[in-house]
Amino acid sequence: MDHSSQEFIEFALKKQVLQFGQFKTKAGRLSPYFFNTGLFNDGESLMKLGMFYAKSIENSNIPFDMLYGPAYKGIPLVTSIVIAFASLGRNVPFAFNRKEKKDHGEGLKGRVLIVDDVISAGTSVNESVNLILEEGAQPSGIAISIDREEKGSGSLSAVEEIKATHHLPVCHLTSLKEIMRYIESKTTYASHMDAMRAYQKEYGI
């Protein structure tokens, strides 16, 4: 397993952002795990999260001139990431939208990297891509915290569907397979492995 992915999983477990049990997803599926980046809700957590994203983006080699965070979760994410980049010596501009309709520009220009927590149905990404193009800028890729690696409406995952539709690279901090590899080696979480394997077999790609 990639060392940064392991560190991020341990960080998410410590902050209870990653939990195991039984949770109902928006798609109506009963999931044995729950991942909510909204629980990174203090200064130290956001500082660390921003650094995880910044390093993942750097390692992905996705070219970009600025970052864009869709409302609402994307706003604190993109803010924490540009602060992390500044601490690494790179001053990166960023933009975000509001849910309310606006009649003026977003200040988007050049190659724009979209930042979000997850890609579920892909709706947020589609809206972001359209907004960036309307502003005369160019979407260059997407950075997310976790790739759930679950089937979407067909045989592809939501991430794969986005890649196929928009031809954009996607980088992530961790994935379902990486989480499973991690907990498989930890006796603390051994009791959840059967449920995780069953879920992956039914809904995984």
User: Pick from 37, 35, 26, 23: which is nearest to 152 by CA?
Assistant: 26
β partners of residue 23: 31
Structure tokens at 140: 């260059």
Catalytic residue among 102, 151, 172, 186: 102
69-82 burial, b for 16+ CB within 10 Å, e for fewer?
bbeebbbbbbbbbb
Catalytic residue among 3, 26, 101, 104: 104
104 is catalytic: yes
**Burial class of 154 by CB neighbour count within 10 A (0 to 12, 13 to 18, 19+):** exposed
Query: Cα–Cα distances in Å, from 158 out to 29, 86, 107, 146, 151?
Result: 15, 31, 28, 12, 7
User: How many beta carbons lie within 10 A of that of residue 135, not counting itself?
Assistant: 16
Q: Which residues contact 93 (CB under 8 A, 6 or more apart)?
A: 65, 66, 67, 82, 107
102 is catalytic: yes
Question: What residue spans of the chain are helical by DSSP H?
Answer: 3-14, 43-60, 74-87, 123-134, 158-166, 176-184, 193-203
Which are the catalytic amino acids?
Answer: 102, 104
